Structure 1
Amino acid sequence: MAVNELTVTVVGWVGSDPVQYRGEDGQVPFTKFRLASTPRVYDREQDGYVDADTSWFTVKTFRHLALNVAEAVRRGEPVVVHGRLRVVDWVAPDGRARTTAELTADAVGHDLARGTTRFTRTVHVTRGPGAPGVEPGDEPGEEGALGEHDRAPVDLSRAVELADDDPLPADVPTADRLTA
């Protein structure tokens, strides 16, 4: 994290279908989409809530988040985006100066105040068992083996599910307790 960077959380609606850019020759994959956020404000004259001006953001995601956003998010869906905001000045082809608010996202999720969704864990392995050049028994660090940023499935076979706010039963051994 850099000094004096502006970190924000924006609640809004996806304004364009995410576009995924696959990295070539070791480049990092990224996905971007437009995000609209329209606050509701109380108008005394109308004695009710009305839409205020809409703020538009270009959201950029990288690596595994980029792959998941491209798969899960669609235009028109409500989302919550958390990340670093920067304002970019540029010149349009017609010669006019433009300004864009770019949000480099650290987290993107559906806004569950507006609907439901189902979480599905993803495992993004660029080189793993069954991939070209990978032999059974390859160890991390060897050529063709899983790299330090590749993920293997999480073993939840010993997980204990608890009801909300219930204490952990006394008969569950300490080693089996789940920690966040």
Structure 2
Amino acid sequence: MSEALTTLTGFVGDDPRQFVSATGTSFTTFRMATTRRFFDRTKGEWVDGQTLWFTVKSWRDMARNVAESLRKGEPVIATGVLGVDEWISPDGPRTSLVLEARAVGHDLSRGQARFARTVHRSTPDERDRTAPGTGGPADGAEAEPPVSDDPWAAGLPALEDDPEATGGQADGAGLAGSGDEEREPVAAGV
């Protein structure tokens, strides 16, 4: 199956709202505004283009994380499959651009964030409803619990160029730089 992924950068337009679908699956939506900026050579300055509004929809564990992490006005980046919702309102036919999110996070080009790993435990009802091929049990059978909730707990050996795992003695092979070189500061507001 082929999917064309779209990445949007912009700002959260409203606080995320949590819902439960008719099948019992949790999802979260929020509005996102994205404005294209371009350099107008005739004016010699950066100009804002048209602002486009999207509904970003996330499901299951990501839905919970989005609801706990994002607030109105924060810079955000979201990647997913772009689609259109259509419905009839009292004012007539309506449409909305919807991004079915595969990943959502704060835009770190505009600020800092701290990551906190979470482990969401699904209820037995949620596990029973999980479709085959989605990581859950098939035919209502109970799933085996994962060996570990920590993906880094597999006990794999450290890479040779990992100074934290090799007592600070990385040889630097294959690295872009040693970290000691001076770097040019990034211009603010770009």
Distance 1:8 1:16, change over 3 A: same
User: CA, structure 1 residues 22+152, in 2 after alignment: closer, same or farther (shift >3 Å)?
Assistant: farther
Judge conservation of contact 1:33–1:58 (CA < 8 Å) in 2.
yes
Q: Is the 8 A contact 1:61 1:105 kept in 2?
A: yes
TM-score by length of 1: 0.69
Find the counterpart in structure 2 of residue 105 from structure 1.
Answer: 101
1-structure distance, mates of 2:28, 2:171: 38
Aligned to 1:55: 52
1:173 matched to which residue of 2? Answer: none
Regions of 4+ moved over 2 Å: 87-92, 145-153, 155-168
Residue 176 of structure 1 is matched in structure 2 by: none
Task: Return closer, same or farther for 1:155/1:53 CA change in 2, 3 Å cut-off.
Answer: closer
Aligned alpha-carbon RMSD (Å): 3.2
Residue type of the partner of 1:101? L
Call closer, same or farther: CA 1:90–1:56 in 2, change over 3 Å: same
Work out whether 1:166 is the aligned partner of 2:172: yes
After TM superposition, list the pairs within 5 Å mapping 1:15-30 onto structure 2.
15-22=13-20, 27-30=24-27
* Residue ranges of structure 2 left out of the alignment (5+ in a row): 125-136, 164-169, 175-190
Tell me the SS of whatever aligns to 1:52. strand
2:21 matched to 1:6? no
For 1:23-172, list aligned pairs within 5 A: 27-95=24-92, 97-127=93-123, 147=143, 152-154=148-150, 156=152, 160=158, 162-163=162-163, 166-167=172-173
Quick one: percent identity of the two aligned structures?
44
Shift of 1:115: 0.5
Alignment partners' CA distance in 1, 2:79 and 2:145: 22
Q: Which amino acid aligns with 1:37?
A: T
Q: In the alignment, residue 24 of structure 2 is paired with which amino acid?
A: Q
5+ long unaligned stretches in structure 1:
129-140, 169-180
Amino acid at match of 2:73: G
Partner of 1:132: none
Number of positions where the alignment pairs a residue of Structure 1 with one of Structure 2: 150
